[in-house]
Amino acid sequence: MNIALFLEMAAQADPDRIGLVCDGKHWSYGELDAAARGACALIRASGASHVALLDESSEAAVIALFGAALAGVPYCPLNYRLADADLAALLGRVAPALIVGDARRVQQLSGDAGHIVYPRSEFTLAALEAVVDEQAECDPGEGVCIQLFTSGTTAAPKAAILAHSNLVSYILGTVEFGSAEESEATLVSVPPYHIAGIAALVSSIYAQRKVVLLPAFAPEDWLKLVEAEKVTNAFVVPTMLGRIIQALDKGVRADIGSLKAIAYGGGKMPLELIHRALDLFPETAFTNAYGLTETSSTIALLGPEEHRAAHRSADPKVRARLASVGIPLPTIELEIRGEDGEVLPAGQPGEIYVRGDQVSGRYKEKSALDAEGWFPTRDAGYLDEDGYLFLAGRADDVIVRGGENISPGEIEDLLLTHPAIADIAAVAVPSLEWGEAVGVAVVVRGGFAQPDADEIRSMVRARLRSSRVPEVVRFFPSLPYNEMGKLLRREVKKLLAA
* 285 makes contact with another protein (CB under 8 A): yes
Task: Find the shortest distance in angstroms from Cβ 63 to another protein.
Answer: 20
Chosen residue from 57, 110, 295, 297 binding another protein by CB under 8 A: 297
DSSP H/E element including 393: strand 389-394
Based on the shown chain and the rule CB under 8 A, indicate whether residue 438 belongs to the binding site for another protein. Answer: no
Binding another protein (rule: CB under 8 A), the pick from 144, 207, 231, 469 is 207
Q: Does 30 bind another protein (CB under 8 A)?
A: no
Residue list 125-184, contact with another protein (CB under 8 A): 140-142, 164-165, 172, 174-179
Binding residue for another protein (CB under 8 A) from 60, 91, 109, 301?
A: 301
- In total, the chain counts a number of residues equal to 498
Residues 240-279 that bind another protein (CB under 8 A): 261, 263, 265
- The answer to the question of residue 91 lying near another protein (CB under 8 A) is no
According to the binding rule CB under 8 A, does residue 387 interact with another protein? no
**Of 268 and 445, which CB lies nearer to another protein in the complex structure?**
268
3-class DSSP assignment, residue 192: coil
* DSSP E strands, 176-271: 185-188, 210-213, 233-236, 261-264
The yes or no reply on residue 329 touching another protein (CB under 8 A) is: yes
C-alpha 16/C-alpha 359 separation (Å) is: 34
Task: Report d(CA 195, CA 19) in Å as an integer.
Answer: 20
DSSP code at position 367: B
Establish if 287 lies at the interface with another protein (CB under 8 A). Answer: yes
Q: Measure the CA–CA gap between 61 and 75, rounded to whole angstroms.
A: 10
- 55: Cβ contacts below 8 Å, ≥ 6 apart: 61, 80, 100, 101, 102, 120, 192
Q: Binding string, 330-359, against another protein, x = CB under 8 A?
A: x-----------------------------
Residue 405 bridge partners (DSSP) = 400
Which residues in 325-372 belong to E strands, given as ranges?
327-328, 333-337, 350-355, 362-363
Is 143:163 a contact under the CB 8 Å cutoff? yes
Q: Where are the alpha helices (DSSP H) in 18-143?
A: 29-46, 59-71, 84-93, 103-110, 120-129
| By CB under 8 A, residue 324 contacts another protein | no
Comparing CB distances to another protein, the nearer of 124 and 186 is 186
Q: Does 376 bind another protein (CB under 8 A)?
A: no
Closest listed residue to residue 251, CA positions, set 281, 220, 280: 220
Size of the site for another protein (CB under 8 A): 42
Q: Which of 203, 324, 360, 377 binds another protein (CB under 8 A)?
A: 203
Residues in touch with another protein (CB under 8 A):
1-2, 5, 8-9, 12-13, 140-142, 164-165, 172, 174-179, 186, 196, 199-200, 203-204, 207, 209, 233, 235, 261, 263, 265, 285, 287, 289, 297-298, 301, 303-304, 329-330
